[in-house]
Amino acid sequence: MAAAARTAKQILKAYKAVRRVEVLTQAKLDALLETNAQYKLFEPDTRHPYHVIASSGKSAAKEFEALIAGVLQWELGSGSIAEEIDKVKARQIVDETAADEDLDALRAIQQNVLTEADAAKMLLTLFSSVNVTRTIVSTSIINGDLAILHGKRNVPRHKEKPEVKITTECGDAVREVKKLAKELRDCGNGSSTIRQELEKNQVLRELSGQGKDFAIQSFLK
C-alpha cells in the first residue's frame, strides 16, 4: 500500500512539474508579444524560437496526459492507479487543505487503457520531450537561433523584457519524469510490466546494432 501511495504522489508531482513548464513556455512567448514593440505592433514572426518552445511545452503536457490516461486502470496491489489518486484527493478533503488544480486536472483525465509495450514507448517519448524542452530554452540555444534569423548583433532586440526564466523548471520536469518512470517501471496490466518491455526494447536495439538507449538505461538503474 505504501508503494501504491508513493506512485500516486509521484504521478501528481511529475504532472505539476510538466504543467508548470507548459504554463511558463507559453508565458515566455506571451511576454515577447506583449513587451517587445516589434512583435506587439506588427505581425509576429512565427519563426521565432519562442513559438517552438511554447509548442514543446504543450506537447509534453499532452504526452503526459496520454500516458497517464492509459495506465489509470492498472492495478497497484490494493487498487487501481486511479483509485490511489482519488485517495490523495480524499486526504486533502479530510485535512481541509486548499484545492489543488493540478490534482483535479489529473483526476479529470479520461481513461484509455494501454498495453505495457505502448506505455513503455509513451514514457520514452515523454522523457525525450521534456529533455528537448530543457535544451531549447537554454540561453545559448535561443541566442543561436535568433542570430541565424536576425544576426548576432540584433539578438537583444528580439527578446522579452524582463526575461521569463524557465531553465530551472524545465530541469525539474526532467527529474520528476525520470522518477515517475522508476515508479511505473514495475507496473503493468496483467501480462507484462513496463520494465520488461523496456528490457525487450533494449535487447532489440543491441541485436540490430543500434546500441543501448540512454533513457532506457537510466529508467532501469
Please give the full DSSP string across 68-105, using - where no structure is assigned: HHHHTTSB-SSSBHHHHHHHHHHHHHHHTPPP-HHHHH
Please give the model's pTM, rounded to 2 decimal places: 0.93
Summarize pLDDT for 116-129 with one digit per residue, the tens: 999 999 999 999 99
Summarize pLDDT for 5-37 with one digit per residue, the tens: 899 999 999 999 999 999 999 999 999 999 998
d(CA 11, CA 21) in angstroms, rounded, equals 16
Q: What are the residue boundaries of the structural domains of the chain, listed by start?
A: 2-184
